[in-house]
Structure 1
């Protein structure tokens, strides 16, 4: 937990924690700060562990978006429309979110190394087998199996980082970990389009990441370490029942509001990542004398996404680390204003594609940078407003909610809206929609992302109202058990506050 962000200056009356635990809390924070003051204090094996987690996260997101990079070819081969094409991503995300709570429960209680190795192995096998399937329904089924495998990894990996580091060192490591998401997503477009074009078959784009996944499984089993839960914070809090975990999380206002806000981020990211290349391609075909392919558009879109992530994720983390000593609620404020800034950028990016290609890419880049500011900060929020033995469950719960109402439905919803608009915009519903109609239908459907971004910004700003107190509650719970190890964790005063939300 980012202890320094809770009470960087104990002389500030706003930060004082009343009661007998004040001195214990201060001593615990000082001890944690001494353990990790700079990156030079990080050991080689800890760097290796973070490196393994980043590598797996990279290929994880590569695998998700290789299919998006060749979506036009997939639609042609299976003879499907926008709605069914969006359903492929929805099936994946539904399986991902449904199984996340199961792996979250296991991640708080069982070997995280074994769970992660199993999950990565599963998505490697199912991705490779699925690349040979010629039936659309069976192909969609295998995409769902891939989602199950990826759920086992994503719910657990951030908690390993939280158990190795505290303070700004944790924030830096989380920024590195989430840096792999936009970079991996961009590489997915590039690898999918290039491999498919080189082989003359889009299916070869899906066969790259499984071989990299085999390497990842070996690294997880023989290189990565699995620290004790709460090790970095000297936490001795024992796990509670799953029912108590869920009850406490639901009543944790900072966690729930940030989860709702991140759901909006997931909605927008899922829709733009899935439909972005197809939308840009349709817009470019409207211009005269343009010779363009979906593969080349996916390649450029991937480069833009990688660049935006490379700038946005570390920038968000750096802003948070710089502002925390002076502004304790800066994390949700940064995320909120970032989403409110991203909304108009995305809107203007959507309306300029048919006239100004370069300006469109600039606006999309800027919109993605502001959107990516939130990734590592949201992860940090979850880890410091939730006690250590509950963090895998919290990650899984956030994945369930954010994907259920976010990117599980957004690709399909945009596809359904697009297909409906095609029929209403076409002069004759029985005829094939023209190129301009296809473009306009998808453009209008994507406008919904702008409204969702504004909603997400509001949720983040509401999170700022409660986050300081919720951080102090977790800090007090850890300090209380450290001072009185014999105390039953589930009955500690700080934990009662965390459950009741008072």
Structure 2
């Protein structure tokens, strides 16, 4: 994302092509390009993760991701669609560890300890995102071209995949829930999907996750550009018409994303742990309150940015911190309401839904709305700034909708959790009975 200001000029791509390519960076999680059509990647790994050795699948996915990312750095502008294809293929690796890793943690820990361990895992999202802005800019500057950023991360991926193979032990499914070895009967994929579709807590929390993804995807692409335009309007900076453009705002936004992500995940885990002493519905309620609070501060970004960049950064800091509170908690909700033998499928389809309805299209949609608003005022710098702000105002509305979905999750959370626990007990009494009508 940090490279979005440098790729167009250095690669010869238009803004529309860059936007489509950026969406493929996000959309890669959902689909993988084939000679005939797009194939769904995440659900496949969800299916495999519920039935085969997760450690092997995880490491192979990481190695494939590293290999494809490295190869994509050698593609020239004459083969733009090959670059698009490589970005989509990256989803094979990402889908593997995004779908499988949380289920391994779920089989190692339970209750408050599982919440903390999931929090540690999900710290990698904001940390990696923030470092991506920073290290991506550094690698580009050091190498003299944007593609050098794509040659750094594969090395880290190879190290990670090797460590998984050597040190990670494959836990038995349900071991943390004391039903390891008893849940050996496998249901069909259609049976699993039918059960998940009837799990209201799972459905509503997945839709809420899509709302978060919508906002973060749009912010990652457009907020740095919005702040640049704000400074041009304030006459504290000049519009960049030729390379190299300043990457200061991308670096600041990346640092804020990194810090707020760390704070949000930690605060979310601690807050949920404390609130569980007061109510059993703590998990979805904490998510709902944090999202509704986040929407307020994100709205304020577009109020204060015209006069104060510092004020805008403060609103971004608070808004993102509240928005990131729910990452680990959402995964924990899933662990509570879905039985161990369906968790990989559940995680995969939750990711599929959140990206398909969220960040796969939100950057393009925001850009489309902004372009439509400024169509008649193309020469006005002020209107270019305002039109992007008006388009980004869609994000807090979507976040509020996500908060409503978490409130709906709270209504059914206890019932769905009890159903999952009951089915686990039934498995202990009769391991051969598996229901398609429960979690």
Cα shift at 1:196:
1.1
Cα shift at 1:80:
4.2
Conserved in 2, the CA contact under 8 Å of 1:194 and 1:299? no
Cα shift at 1:90:
2.2
Question: CA separation in 1, counterparts of 2:144 and 2:27?
Answer: 31
The match for 1:107 among 31, 49, 67 is 49
Corresponding residue of 2:35: none
Going from structure 1 to structure 2, the CA distance change for 1:487 and 1:73 (only over 3 Å counts) comes to closer
Question: CA separation in 2, counterparts of 1:71 and 1:158?
Answer: 30
Deviates more, 1:293-302 or 1:407-416: 293-302
The alignment's C-alpha RMSD in Å is 1.7
Cα shift at 1:205:
1.9
Going from structure 1 to structure 2, the CA distance change for 1:87 and 1:390 (only over 3 Å counts) comes to same
Secondary structure of the residue that 2:297 maps to in structure 1? helix
Question: CA separation in 1, counterparts of 2:123 and 2:154?
Answer: 21
Is 2:207 the counterpart of 1:257? no
Question: CA separation in 2, counterparts of 1:244 and 1:219?
Answer: 35
Q: How do 1:66-465 residues align onto structure 2 when only pairs under 5 Å count?
A: 68-97=1-30, 98-135=40-77, 136-235=80-179, 236-237=182-183, 238-290=185-237, 293-426=245-378, 433-465=379-411
Q: Per-residue CA shift, 1:428-471, capped at 9, x if unaligned?
A: xxxxx454343233222211101101110111101111001111
Unaligned runs of 5+ in 1: 1-67, 427-432
Deviates more, 1:114-123 or 1:357-366: 114-123
Cα shift at 1:423:
1.6
Conserved in 1, the CA contact under 8 Å of 2:65 and 2:91? yes
TM-score by length of structure 1 reads 0.80
Corresponding residue of 2:413: 467
Q: Per-residue CA shift, 1:296-329, capped at 9, x if unaligned?
A: 2111111111111111111111111111132011
Secondary structure of the residue that 2:75 maps to in structure 1? coil
Secondary structure of the residue that 1:233 maps to in structure 2? coil
Question: CA separation in 2, counterparts of 1:139 and 1:199?
Answer: 20
Secondary structure of the residue that 1:165 maps to in structure 2? coil
Secondary structure of the residue that 1:133 maps to in structure 2? coil
Deviates more, 1:205-214 or 1:130-139: 130-139
Conserved in 2, the CA contact under 8 Å of 1:183 and 1:309? yes
Q: Per-residue CA shift, 1:26-72, capped at 9, x if unaligned?
A: xxxxxxxxxxxxxxxxxxxxxxxxxxxxxxxxxxxxxxxxxx11211
Conserved in 2, the CA contact under 8 Å of 1:281 and 1:294? no
Question: CA separation in 2, counterparts of 1:351 and 1:143?
Answer: 36
Question: CA separation in 2, counterparts of 1:74 and 1:271?
Answer: 18
Conserved in 2, the CA contact under 8 Å of 1:84 and 1:412? no
Question: CA separation in 2, counterparts of 1:266 and 1:234?
Answer: 34
Conserved in 1, the CA contact under 8 Å of 2:27 and 2:359? no
Cα shift at 1:232:
1.1
Q: Per-residue CA shift, 1:2-33, capped at 9, x if unaligned?
A: xxxxxxxxxxxxxxxxxxxxxxxxxxxxxxxx
Question: CA separation in 2, counterparts of 1:489 and 1:81?
Answer: 57
Corresponding residue of 1:23: none
Conserved in 2, the CA contact under 8 Å of 1:336 and 1:460? yes
Question: CA separation in 2, counterparts of 1:416 and 1:87?
Answer: 12
Q: Per-residue CA shift, 1:65-111, capped at 9, x if unaligned?
A: xxx11211112234445443332232233331231000000000111
Conserved in 1, the CA contact under 8 Å of 2:20 and 2:364? yes
Going from structure 1 to structure 2, the CA distance change for 1:177 and 1:88 (only over 3 Å counts) comes to same
Deviates more, 1:343-352 or 1:292-301: 292-301
| Structure index of larger Rg | 1
Cα shift at 1:202:
1.8
Question: CA separation in 2, counterparts of 1:344 and 1:464?
Answer: 22
Secondary structure of the residue that 2:221 maps to in structure 1? helix
Q: Per-residue CA shift, 1:346-404, capped at 9, x if unaligned?
A: 11113322320111111000000000111010000011100000000000111111111
TM-score by length of structure 2 reads 0.92
Cα shift at 1:212:
0.7
Going from structure 1 to structure 2, the CA distance change for 1:442 and 1:309 (only over 3 Å counts) comes to same
How many residues in Structure 1 have an aligned counterpart in Structure 2? 420
Conserved in 1, the CA contact under 8 Å of 2:62 and 2:160? yes
